[in-house]
Amino acid sequence: MPRILIVWLLLSSLLLTGCADLMELFPSDADTTSVVQIYVAPTPQPFPPEVSTAARIRERGKLLVGVRYDLEPFSYVAADGMLAGLEVELARELARRWLGDPGAVQFRQVRSDTAQQHLLDGEVDFVLAGIVHTQGAENEADYSPPYFMDGEALLTYPDTGVLGPAQVGGHNVGGLDWAAGLEHLAAAAPEAFTATPYADYFQLVEALRTRQVDVYADRLLRLERARRMVAGTQILGQYTYEPVALMYRENDPYFAELVTATFRDMAADGTWESLYAPWLSTESRPTFSQGETRPTPTLDGAPRERSNMDTVTGIRNRGVVEAGYFIDRWPYSADRNDGAQTGFEVWLLERIAERWLGTPQAVTFVPVTEGDALAKLENGELDLLIGGWVHTSEAEAQVGFSHTLLDDGVSILSPAAAPVDSLAALAGQAVGIIQGTAGENALPAISQQTGIALNPITYPDLDTAVAALQGGAVALLLAERRLLLDPFYRVGGFYLPDERLTARPIAYVLPRGDSDFRDLLNLTLASMYANGSFDELYRVWFDDPIPEPILWPGEPLIPLTLRAME
């Protein structure tokens, strides 16, 4: 149960209340330093609900950010009475980049259980308060890429030999009796260990310092604080995952793009690392995708209003999903000889439709081309697009995307008699490239990253390139995985390793700014990951590892059937 942490401020009778940890950080306030009150100016009159977040910030000239006052090292009141922590510094950096002034930010105290309501009421633009992106939280808010991956892990000494749950057998492991670290570790560990529960966090930390326990199992955020208190310890073996992210209002695609692009810029120029290092170990720092070429959005370009798309109502009213697909993108989407649709994404959507509408036949597959697909999605003729669409930041300016379904990255195809796992031994050898493909486009970057000088030979089409490989004219082919799967499965005699040389995340394409539809689709995918049905279907089509599952913990608050949403 959430606990109330009460901090009496010296210069005011203001009572600050907050939940502990990301929901429950520490069991008591025994370590809380007395602090002076931070002045917070009154919140301006809220904008109408339809006004976009970026427009609010632009017109107001400052950020309104919800933070916790008691969540060290994220956001807390330091001994000097000032707000400090990673989230506080992150908010100031966003103000600097968006408004040109790191001081153009006003903080408002929120609790974990009230943060979303402050957001919905327009009292803050976004929340940086150790908020875990859960399935239930998808109901009324959207989230940035995670800036911290919380979850349970182990804090121990190097000489214990413990690297993760697999090595805790026979060791004395301490944990908090009001948290779930020991319980979850028991489920993850293959061998029995001695579990020693403690009611008090600081007693447990002292037990680790004096070697009364070998290992401390708990949430990363608490372990990070303990690591700074016990010299010579290290955090290892994370075994549960809870993404912590910036929370903002739904149906605001421009702001979503602004935040994601800004995080990417911060990672690229080193700012993210410098912000993170004073507060948390670098091992727990998430990475943000880089290499995109589209300029970062600005506040000046923000639309005045948020999106009002409502794809869910349309599907529910007509009782069928309208999906645009490519007829020739096997094994993702294609037409069989008898005219029926097939492919991994086709089969997956049919199973999703069965969950939503009671039958896998509740999908109408509409053939599209690259020339007309996006226009049909934007004008409402189609609910989504399938068939090997690559999720890029450039495309986010026009459409939305589901969670990643698979990785179509550039891969290596070689003869089974002379298999090639990497490019390391191929300097100077002939490499087959297919004209106009991702392999051709990625070759300069691959050569630069590997430091290997390749000898590319370009072929006009896949069949010609495969014939050259079979005849020994080239040692391997480089192309996106979709193209290489065709000869690998249909011809045989080839070797296709799991490794991708580039990342090309494939996802369903959705109407831009329709948070409810995206949430419904992603939560349905999460449930399929959880019950194994996604894995089962993936194995029918592919033999490489499935993509990373959706890591949002908890259960959805919305029904995953459109029939129940009437």
Write the secondary structure of 108-144 as one string of H (helix), E (strand) and C (coil): EECCCCCHHHHHHCCCCCEECCCCECCCHHHHCEEEC
Q: Give the DSSP letter string of 36-52.
A: PPPP-PPPPPPPPTTB-
Q: Which parts of the chain sit beneath pLDDT 50?
A: 1-42, 564-566
Contact, 253 vs 139, CB < 8 A? Answer: no
Contact, 459 vs 433, CB < 8 A? Answer: yes
Q: What is the DSSP letter of 96?
A: H
Euclidean distance between CA atoms 214 and 155, whole angstroms: 9
Euclidean distance between CA atoms 351 and 149, whole angstroms: 31
pTM of the complete model: 0.78
Instruction: For residue range 167-180, list pLDDT tens digits in order.
Output: 999 999 999 999 99
Q: Write out the two tokens for 534.
A: 């996604």
Q: What is the DSSP letter of 390?
A: B
Contact, 517 vs 510, CB < 8 A? Answer: yes
Contact, 508 vs 386, CB < 8 A? Answer: yes
Pairing of strands 410-415, 494-495: antiparallel
For residue 560, what are the contacts with CB-CB under 8 A and spacing of at least 6? 355, 356, 520, 523, 524, 527
Residues paired with 244 in a beta bridge: 132, 148
- Residue linked to tokens 């296709």: 496
Q: What is the DSSP letter of 546?
A: P
Euclidean distance between CA atoms 412 and 423, whole angstroms: 9
**Nearest-10 Cα torsion for 325, 397, 521, 53:** -160
For residue 486, what are the contacts with CB-CB under 8 A and spacing of at least 6? 330, 462
Predicted confidence at residue 45, as pLDDT, reads 60
Contact, 117 vs 140, CB < 8 A? Answer: no
Domains in the chain with CATH codes: 4-147+244-301 (3.40.190.10), 152-240 (3.40.190.10), 311-406+506-565 (3.40.190.10), 410-503 (3.40.190.10)
**Segment (H or E) for 282:** none
Euclidean distance between CA atoms 216 and 225, whole angstroms: 12
Predicted confidence at residue 388, as pLDDT, reads 96
